[in-house]
């Protein structure tokens, strides 16, 4: 990945729906060259998915997960199917997952899915009040 790829990624992070022709103008390439670079980034899994971020949802929360040490990578991988924001952390918990839902019941169902994963010892959920 070079500097041009980084510029393309930054533009897509700002607006995943930006047209290739517009990206090409920003980075000084042809539309075809930009398309080829994006396809390569997808093939190499640098770009994992294109997504839509909506206006604020009904409920948002962070689920902190304490895992069995050898199960942490598997928990993270499975959690990525439920959220685009999953990361390993230090302290009392090993993994943090940001969840968004339309209502508290839906959020609770998604938290329950995380709790059922093999290797999960316990969870703590922080619900955004704002």
Domain boundaries, the chain: 3-43, 59-127
Query: Which CATH number does 3-43 carry?
Result: 1.10.10.10
How far apart CA 103 and CA 86 sit, in angstroms, is 21
Residue 21 is predicted with a pLDDT of 96
Nearest to 111 by CA among 57, 62, 53: 62
Q: What is the pLDDT of residue 96?
A: 97
Q: Do domains 3-43 and 59-127 have the same CATH topology?
A: no
Mean pLDDT, consecutive 10-residue stretches, the chain (130 aa), reads 90 90 96 96 88 70 96 94 90 95 89 95 92
**pTM here?**
0.60
Closest to 54 in 3D by CA, of 102, 4, 9: 102
Q: What is the CATH number of domain 59-127?
A: 3.30.70.920
Residue 57 has a pLDDT of 61
Dist. CA 130–CA 119, nearest whole Å:
32
State residue 127's pLDDT score.
Answer: 94
Which residues contact residue 50 at a Cβ distance below 8 angstroms, ignoring those fewer than 6 apart?
A: 12, 16
């Amino acid at each position: 990945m070079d500097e041009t790829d980084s510029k393309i990624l930054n533009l897509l992070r700002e607006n995943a729906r930006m047209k290739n022709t517009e990206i090409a103008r920003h980075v000084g390439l042809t539309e075809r060259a930009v398309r080829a670079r994006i396809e390569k980034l997808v093939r190499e899994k640098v770009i994992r998915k294109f997504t839509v971020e909506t206006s604020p949802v009904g409920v948002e929360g962070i689920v902190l997960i304490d895992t069995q040490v050898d199960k942490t990578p598997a928990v993270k991988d499975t959690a990525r199917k439920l959220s685009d924001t999953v990361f390993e952390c230090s302290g009392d918990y090993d993994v943090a997952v940001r969840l968004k839902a339309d209502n508290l019941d839906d959020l609770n169902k998604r938290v329950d899915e995380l709790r059922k994963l093999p290797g999960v010892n316990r969870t703590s959920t922080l619900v955004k009040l704002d």
